Amino acid sequence: MSLLLDRLLQGTLDTLLMIGASSAITLLLGIPLALFLVTSTRGGIFEARWANGAIGSVVNVLRSIPFLILMVALIPFTRLIVGTSYGVWAAVVPLTVACIPFFARIAEVSLREVDRGLIEAAQAMGCRRRHIVWHVLLPEARPGIVAGFTITLVSMINASAVAGAIGAGGLGDLAYRYGYQRFDTQVMVTVIVLLVLLVTLIQFGGDRLAHALNKRK
C-alpha cells in the first residue's frame, strides 16, 4: 500500500513538473508569437504580411496534428534537445510544441479585440510602437490572455496523460500501467480524482485571476 502511495505521490509530482515546465515555456514563447500574429497583419503596427502568412501557416499545421501523432513524429527532435525520448523532460518538448500554437491563437484573439481607438489614442499621445505593445495591447488583453492560458493548461494536463501513457511518467503513466494493464480500479479511480482536482483547481484559480484583472466592469 505504501509503495502505491509513493508511486501516486511521485506520479503527481511528475505531472506537476511536466505541466509547470511546459506551461512556463508556452507562456514565454506563446505571447510573443501572439503579438507577432496580431501586429504584423495588414494595417498592424509592425505590418509584415508575408512573414505573418508564413508563420500563421506553421501555427495552423501544428494545431491540426493530433497530439499523439505529433509526439511520435517529434521523437528525433526531442532526442536532439533533451538527449532522450523517455521521461518527464522528454514529454516537455512535444507538450510545448503542441501548446504554444494553441495558446498563441487564443491570445491572438484577445489581443485583436483591443479597440483600435485605444491604439490611435496612444499614437496621438506620442507613444512609440513598443509602448503600444507594452502599455496598451498587453494590459488591455490581459484578462482574455489569462482565461486563454487557463484553457491551455487544462488541455495540457489532458495531453500530459497521453504522454504519460507512452513513457513520460506522471499520473497518466500510472493510470495506464495499473488501470489498463492490471485492471486495478482503485489506482485508476485515485488518478482520476487527482486529475479532476488538479483541473478544477486550475480552472478556479484562472477564473478568479481573470476576473480580478478585468477592470472593464
Partner 1 sequence: MSRYEADIEQALTHIRVEGLSKTYRGAQGVVRALDGIDLSIRRGEIFGIIGRSGAGKSSLIRTLNRLEQPSAGQVRIDGVDLGGLDENQLVELRRRVGMIFQHFNLLSAKTVWDNVALPLKVAGKRPAEIERRVAELLQLVDLADKRDVYPAQLSGGQKQRVGIARALVHEPQILLCDEATSALDPESTQAILALLRDINRRLGLTIVLITHEMEVIHEICQRVVVLERGRVVEEGPVWQVFGDPQHEVTRSLLGTRQHDLPEDLVGRIRPQPESERSLFLLDLHFTGASLREPDLLAIGRTLGAQARLLHGGIDRVQGRALGHLLVGVHSREPQAAILERARGLADKVGGLGYVTAA
**49 lies in the binding site for partner 1 (CB under 8 A):** no
List the one residue from 43, 66, 183, 217 that touches partner 1 (CB under 8 A): 217
- How many angstroms from the chain centroid is the CA of residue 58? 17
**213 lies in the binding site for partner 1 (CB under 8 A):** yes
Nearer to partner 1, 76 or 215 (CB): 215
Contact between 137 and 38 under an 8 Å Cβ cutoff? The reply is yes
Find the binding residues for partner 1 in span 93-152 (CB under 8 A): 115, 117-118, 120-128, 131, 135-136, 139-140, 142
Find the shortest distance in angstroms from Cβ 31 to partner 1.
16
85 vs 157: CA distance, rounded Å:
19
163 vs 5: CA distance, rounded Å:
22
Total residues binding partner 1 (CB under 8 A): 22
Residues of this chain that interact with partner 1 (CB under 8 A) are: 115, 117-118, 120-128, 131, 135-136, 139-140, 142, 213, 215-217
